[in-house]
Amino acid sequence: MDTVRWGIVGCGDVTEVKSGPALQKAAGSELVAVMRRHGDLARDYAQRHGVPRWYDDAAALIDDSEVNAVYVATPPSTHKAYTLMAAAAGKPVYVEKPMARTYRECEDMIRACEDAGVPLYVAYYRRMLPRFRQVREWVTSGAIGQVRTVTVELYRRPPEGGYDELPWRLVPAIAGGGLLLDLASHTLDYLDYALGPVAAVGGFADNQAGMYEAEDMVSGAFRFASGAHGIGSWCFAAVENRDTVEIVGSAGIVRFSTFEEEPVVLENEVGVTELQIDNPPHVQQPLIQTVVDALLGRGTCPSTGESAARTSWVMDELLRGYRRRTGQPGQERSV
C-alpha cells in the first residue's frame, strides 16, 4: 500500500482527541470510515471529523474496499472478535489497550493474524511519547548503572458516594477485571519496553471497598528477565491520588509519573536533572506514525501483539487468585 486508509471500529471517547485526529495527521495515513453501533453517533462523529463514510455494522466497515487497515477502539470484550474479523479480511489491525481481557484471548488474536499474514499492533502509546523515551534513554544508556529494582504506586480516590452506574471499565465481563487492566497496563507495558520482559510474577488482589465486583486492591512482585526486581501497589479505593514510578540502579535513580505530566527526574553522581516534557496534542500520534511507517515498509513499530500479550500475561498472574475465587474471566490460559 502507498497510503494507510483506516477504518475505526468503535469511535468512542478515546478516538475524539487521542487517536482519531492522529490517524488523519500521521504522514501517509487517512481516516476514511468509522463505525459505531448507534448509527446516529457514527454519523455525528464522521461529520465533526470530516470522515467520508460511517457505518453501524463492523462487518460492513471491515469489508469496505477503501479500508485497508482497521483500528479496533471498542471495550476489551470485543477486541478478539473484531481482530479476528479484520484478519480474516486480510487487513492489518491496530487495537486499543489492554489488548484483550485475558492472555489467552491475546494468543488467539496473535495466531489469527499470523495465519492470515497480517500485522497486529496495540495502542500502548507511551512507548513513543517523548517524556517516556527520555526515561528509557536514561535507563538504557547506563545513566543509573545496572537496574536493581522498580517500585510502582498508583492510588486513586473513588467517587464520593460510590457509583450510580458502573462504567464498563469496572465490569469484569467487559473489561476483564477492574482498573488494574485499564490503568496499570500502561505502566507494566512501558516497563516491558524500558527494562525488558517480566520473567516471573506473583500477586494478591482483593475487593476491599465493596463498591463493585472487580478487584480494587492489587499488590505484586515481579522479576525481569534481566534480573532486576520490581514491586507494585495499585489501590483504587484510597484516600489520595498517587502516581509514582521509581527505577533504582547501581549508580542512580529515575522517577516519573505514568499519567501526570510531572517532570521526569534523574539522580546520579552528576547531580539532579529534572525535565518537563509535555505530551503532544494527540498522544497516540507518535505511535500511530510508527504503525503507518511499518505498514508502508519504511520503519518498525515498538508495540506489537507479542509485546502487548506479555503485559496481559503479567496482569493475569496478578489477578489469578482473585479470578479463581470469584469466577471471573481468565482463570484458564495456555502456557
Residue 86: name the closest of 49, 155, 35, 29 by CA: 35
Q: Is residue 331 assigned to a domain? A: no
What is the pLDDT, as a whole number, of residue 327? 84
Residue 307 lies in a domain: no
Verify that 17 and 93 share a domain, yes or no: yes
Indicate whether 82 and 226 sit together in one domain.
no
In a domain, 335, yes or no: no
> pLDDT at position 329, please?
64
Beta bridge partners of 235: 155, 217
* Contact partners, residue 38, CB within 8 Å, separation at least 6: 56
As for how many domains the chain has, the answer is 2
327: left (phi over 0), alpha (psi -120 to 50) or beta: left
Q: Is residue 132 in a domain?
A: yes
CATH number at residue 161: 3.30.360.10
User: Is 294 found in the same domain as 255?
Assistant: no
CATH at 294: 3.40.50.720
The counts of H helices and E strands in the chain are 12, 14
Q: Specify if 215 maps to a domain.
A: yes
Residues 157 and 291 in one domain: no
In a domain, 298, yes or no: yes
Same domain, 94 and 226: no
For residues 266 and 247, membership in a common domain is answered with yes
| 194 shares a domain with 100 | no
Strand pairing of 53-55 and 29-35?
A: parallel
- 175 and 53 assigned to the same domain: no
Q: Is residue 225 part of a domain?
A: yes
Q: From CA 132, how far away is CA 175, in angstroms rounded? A: 26
Residues 19 and 94 in one domain: yes
For residue 1, the cross-strand partners are none
Are 275 and 129 a contacting pair, CB within 8 Å?
Answer: no
Q: What is the pLDDT of residue 9?
A: 98
Domain hosting residue 113, numbered range = 4-126+284-302
Q: Are residues 191 and 317 in the same domain?
A: yes
pLDDT in tens, the chain (335 residues): 899 999 999 999 999 999 999 999 999 999 999 999 999 999 999 999 999 999 999 999 999 999 999 999 999 999 999 999 999 999 999 999 999 999 999 999 999 999 999 999 999 999 999 999 999 999 999 999 999 999 999 999 999 988 989 999 999 999 999 999 999 999 999 999 999 999 999 999 999 999 999 999 999 999 999 999 999 999 999 999 999 999 999 999 999 999 999 999 999 999 999 999 999 999 999 999 999 999 999 999 999 999 999 999 999 999 999 999 998 765 444 32
Does residue 93 sit in the same domain as residue 192?
no
Nearest to 316 by CA among 104, 97, 76, 80: 104
Residues 90 and 119: their CA atoms lie apart, in Å, by 10
Q: Within the chain, what is the greatest distance between any pair of CA atoms? A: 59
Both 140 and 263 in one domain: the answer is yes
Q: Would 48 be classed as within a structural domain?
A: yes
For 21, the enclosing helix (H) or strand (E) is helix 20-25
The pLDDT of residue 330 is 53
